[in-house]
Structure 1
Amino acid sequence: MSALLLRFGFSADTFFQGAFCGSNHFPAQPGTGHLHLVREGPATFAHEDGTLLRIDVPTLILYPRPHAHGLGTGACTAQLLCATVHLAGDGEAMLNSLPACLQVPLAQLPAMSGVLELLFDEAQHGGLGQKLVLNRLCDVLIVQLLRHALANHLMSAACLLDQSDAALANAMTAMHDHPGRHWTVASLASLCGMSRSRFARQFHAAIGCPPAEYLTGQRMLRAQALLQQGRLVQDVALEVGYASQPAFTRAFRACTSLSPRDWLAQGGS
């Protein structure tokens, strides 16, 4: 993601924060998306195809690419923070892999709680330089939202690849979709039509880590999702590719500094 964001520039520009009652329309403008943070609703987003998105709980809404939409609250008042997102650089693959409208309730974003708290506090009590601080916090929020989209399969990790590394997408997709399989460097290289040494070298250069480390990361992401669903640790271990529970626990602890049970006891974030 860091490599992608270096190629793909974006910057948020907040234009409203506070209580809103009424309606507004946001036309599609080249190179521009929108970020809406609904702290308190209700609010309704209307799209040109006639679909309506009704928001009744605190929610983050991102239009990652130009997309005309309306915003209305009827006779009610909503607490909002809104920003335009200026897009630049080579990021079309990432944008096209996202839904036209990405909405995520804040309750599903525990990792963002710190940034959101700072954002709300700055919006309400900020002084000199408030707009600059809000803009930078929105930038951080967008990066964290992209992390969430990757971790929850809302966008493909393969979209992070440069065109010259597109052949690696087969291996990344395979590890993403089937992390529990017994993948080897040789078997992954064959999916990409490369020799073992070329694949390992090119993967490390493009992704920033060896294939085995990337696979472990995918396994831990899947394991965390299964643990949060209430699955037994021994069952999760087998499903994500470990022959025994102790082996899985060692790998999990190396990744999170906690055992699976301690990680769940601390909120699973």
Structure 2
Amino acid sequence: MDKLSSLVGRHSFNARIFYNGTFCNANQFTENGVSGQLHLVRQGPVDFINADGSVVSVSEPSLLFYPRGDTHRVEVQPGQTASLLCAHIVFHDGVANPLARVLPQCLVLRLSEMGGLGATLDLLFSEAGATAPGREVILDRLCDVLLIQVIRREFESGRLSLGLLAGLSDRQLSLALAAIHERPQEPWSLQSLAQVACMSRAAFTERFRDVMGVPPGEYLTRWRIGVSTRLLREGMSVKQVSSRAGYTSPSTFTRAFTALMGASPREWLKQGAA
């Protein structure tokens, strides 16, 4: 499997369309730590006002993606209208997801410059204007496909070259990352991960921190908790999940989960259901 397929597959996300039509007002989006937003502007003008006061004014068909759901306001001036298709993008372990973390705060692309994505956009907009049964599910899936294509485009252009992407491109670090991703249940230590990467412990720790932006132990914990959130959603018990995620006991797992997520596994599931 190529690196990008591995990255997107393991850091999977889901799109949920929440608006499709003519827009002539304003809407505020507040960072919630769970979802990002994808805005497809079919017709402008539209202003995207960010929390720092910066404004992205869009007057031609464009895509704007806030992967971590940074606070922003979508606004159309009085007397004008725009055509928008908007979706919430939910990463499986929230905006702490490594893929969400390596993407820019706001990705802005003109649709006219998105070579190779024309067929997906045509199908997406055609379905958006239809009333056939299953339209909402199809739109959600097409948004998933569109985002994967956008991420591939950014990856191939070299704009996504830091953090996890850089780690996956590093000949030695990629060995350790693959081991963590594929076998999180193993009792990894700094020494054992360094051996996998064919490096000394000190050199591995320093390069991992420099490239990935976090120490190896923190990344391992975040990955394991990310795996555990998916397993919990699938209905596994805390005991089963603790073993699959690499923890020696349910109590150890619960402490690690609570420290990172701010709630115990059972409380977190209840919050999600609510």
Q: What is the TM-score when the length of structure 2 is the normalising length?
A: 0.58
Structure 1 residue 94 corresponds to structure 2 residue 99: yes
- Structure 1 residue identity aligned to 2:87: A
Structure 1 residue 121 corresponds to structure 2 residue 145: no
Partner residue of 1:55? 58
Distance in 1, matches of 2:164 and 2:58, equals 29
SS of residue paired to 2:136: helix
Distance 1:158 1:25, change over 3 A: closer
Contact preservation (8 Å) 1:150, 1:157: no
Distance in 1, matches of 2:136 and 2:129, equals 12
Displacement of 1:162 after TM fit? 7.0
Displacement of 1:89 after TM fit? 4.1
Partner residue of 2:267? none
Contact preservation (8 Å) 1:7, 1:89: no
Partner residue of 2:49? 46
- From 151, 169, 186, give the equivalent of 2:156: 151
Displacement of 1:30 after TM fit? 1.6
Displacement of 1:28 after TM fit? 0.9
- Structure 2 residue identity aligned to 1:35: L
Displacement of 1:21 after TM fit? 0.3
Deviations 1:133-154 (A, max 9, x none): 1000000010001011112222
State the aligned residue count. 173
Displacement of 1:48 after TM fit? 0.9
Deviations 1:160-202 (A, max 9, x none): 4778x78346xxxxxxxxxxxxxxxxxxxxxx866xxxxxxxx
Deviations 1:87-111 (A, max 9, x none): 1149733322221000010111121
**Any unmatched runs of 5+ in structure 1?**
170-191, 195-269
RMSD: 2.6
Deviations 1:10-49 (A, max 9, x none): 0000011111101001111122000000011000001111
Structure 1 residue 136 corresponds to structure 2 residue 141: yes
- Structure 1 residue identity aligned to 2:8: L
Structure 1 residue 104 corresponds to structure 2 residue 109: yes
